């Protein structure tokens, strides 16, 4: 009440409604995000290439036994 009596311009400026539109936070773009994406794709590709190489070298039975042994060693 005191602010309205002494300085109505101050009160009018402080009572403005808050914007209903939320401000969007942009995802990080640029060189860093691109390097991370390409790095993850390269690691995934190397893992698939290594799995295919093991498959062709040892055969499917030995390959699956190696995977099972690796999983059981983890748990």
DSSP state of 29: -
Residue 66 falls inside a structural domain = yes
Domain of residue 60, residue span: 39-75
Q: Is 72 helix (H, G, I), strand (E, B) or coil?
A: helix
- Is the pLDDT reported for residue 61 higher than 90? no
Q: pLDDT tier at 49 (50, 70, 90 boundaries)?
A: very high
Residue 25 falls inside a structural domain = no
- Is the pLDDT reported for residue 7 higher than 90? no
Count structural domains, the chain: 1
Residues 6+ apart with CB under 8 A from 14: 3
Residue 26 falls inside a structural domain = no
Work out the average pLDDT over 28-34: 74
């Amino acid at each position: 009440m005191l602010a309205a009596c002494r300085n109505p311009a101050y009160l009018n400026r402080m009572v403005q409604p808050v914007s209903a539109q939320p401000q969007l936070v942009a995802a990080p773009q640029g060189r860093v995000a691109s390097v991370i994406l390409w790095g993850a794709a390269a690691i995934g590709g190397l893992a698939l290439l290594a799995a295919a190489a093991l498959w062709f070298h040892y055969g499917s039975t030995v390959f699956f036994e190696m995977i099972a042994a690796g999983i059981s060693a983890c748990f």
